[in-house]
Amino acid sequence: MSLIPLGILAASGAGAAAGVAGYVVGGYNGSYLGTVDKFAFPSDSRTTLSTGLSNGRYGIVGMSDSGVAGYVAGGYDGSSRVTTVDKFAFPSDSQSVLGTGLSSARNALAGMSDSGVAGYAAGGYSGSSDVATIDKFAFSNDSRSTLGTGLSIARQSLAGMSNSGVAGYAAGGRSPKVTTVDKFAFPSDVRSTLGTGLPSATDRIRGMSNSGTAGYTLGGKTSVNISNVSKFAFPSDSRSTLATGLSANRSSAAGMSDSGVAGYAAGGNEGPVVSTVDKFAFPSDSRSTLGTGLSSTRYYAAGFQNETV
């Protein structure tokens, strides 16, 4: 009997039950933050973990092994870019640091997850150049490898989306700004590039996923901040644009998801930096804004989730 990946199991069927929680980690608001806010599903009530990141930083990325742990990789801490990968064990939320971090220090990267199998940290900025590198962390033992084929274009400030058990996607970014969406098939990690990319060249963009159904890119910056939310339907990868985008034009919001139930766009930069959390109900994609946002304003935070039922 074949096993169904956790993310797909959570998304299967109209009556799929809610997951456990989404997390928004770190970011920047004039200070480099280590704070971890936790939003319980489905109530969306917020708490803040007593233990945050090992050091405050932004331009970080989240990866999720639902039912087991969430990971936060890379970033910039105010003095240097780092290779650090923090791990938060579920359900205790206890924090540790992996013995092996990223293959190179970088920030402004994207995350993809094949829950139960591996997490991926894609692209980013090294301090001197954009990179195409994709590091893969096997969830069985947290060992790291680097894909032989990286991004089709070296770039930073891109979005990650995941269809657990099927494929991960790396969308947009700057090198300079592109519309490109790369797709990495699981488990082979073979790369292709979608025929239809983003509707406009966009960086400072983040993603969320309704595993088994669709991936979404959230806002970002073209020449200005935008509120556009693009939706890529699985498995066809056809793109549409939501009639209702973010509640305001903003870039660098963190994405998190409760597959089959809702996706969230948290924080970001609207001109001021904000604490707003927008919620998109699946499958209607109708948008609401949580009454309780983040515990502080921030942008370039990481998002991950625990979708175990």
* Residue 291 included in any domain: yes
DSSP structural state of residue 201: -
* Residue 64 included in any domain: yes
* Residue 269 included in any domain: yes
pLDDT of residue 187: 96
* Residue 55 included in any domain: yes
Nearby residues of 102 by Cβ (< 8 Å), 6 or more positions away? 73, 74, 83, 84, 85, 121, 135, 144
The percentage of residues in the chain with a pLDDT greater than 90, rounded to a whole number, is 94
- Residue among 185, 122, 175 nearest 151 (CA): 122
Provide the CATH number for the domain around residue 140: 2.120.10.80
Host domain of residue 253: 6-306
* Residue 182 included in any domain: yes
* Residue 1 included in any domain: no
pLDDT for residue 8 is more than 90: no
* Residue 198 included in any domain: yes
Q: Kindly list the distances between the CA atom of residue 33 and the CA atoms of 30, 47, 53, 59, 207, in Å, as whole numbers in the listed order.
A: 9, 16, 8, 11, 21
pTM score of the predicted model: 0.93
pLDDT for residue 6 is more than 90: no
pLDDT digits (tens, 9 = 90+) for 180-238: 999 999 999 999 999 999 999 999 999 999 999 999 999 999 999 999 999 999 999 99
Write out the two tokens for 214: 């669709």
Strand partners, 36: 25
pLDDT for residue 5 is more than 70: no
pLDDT of residue 18: 72
pLDDT category of residue 7 using cuts at 50, 70 and 90 = very low
DSSP element (H, E) containing 13: none
Domains identified in the chain, total number: 1
Sign of the alpha-carbon dihedral angle for 244, 245, 246, 249: negative
d(CA 299, CA 127) in angstroms, rounded, equals 19
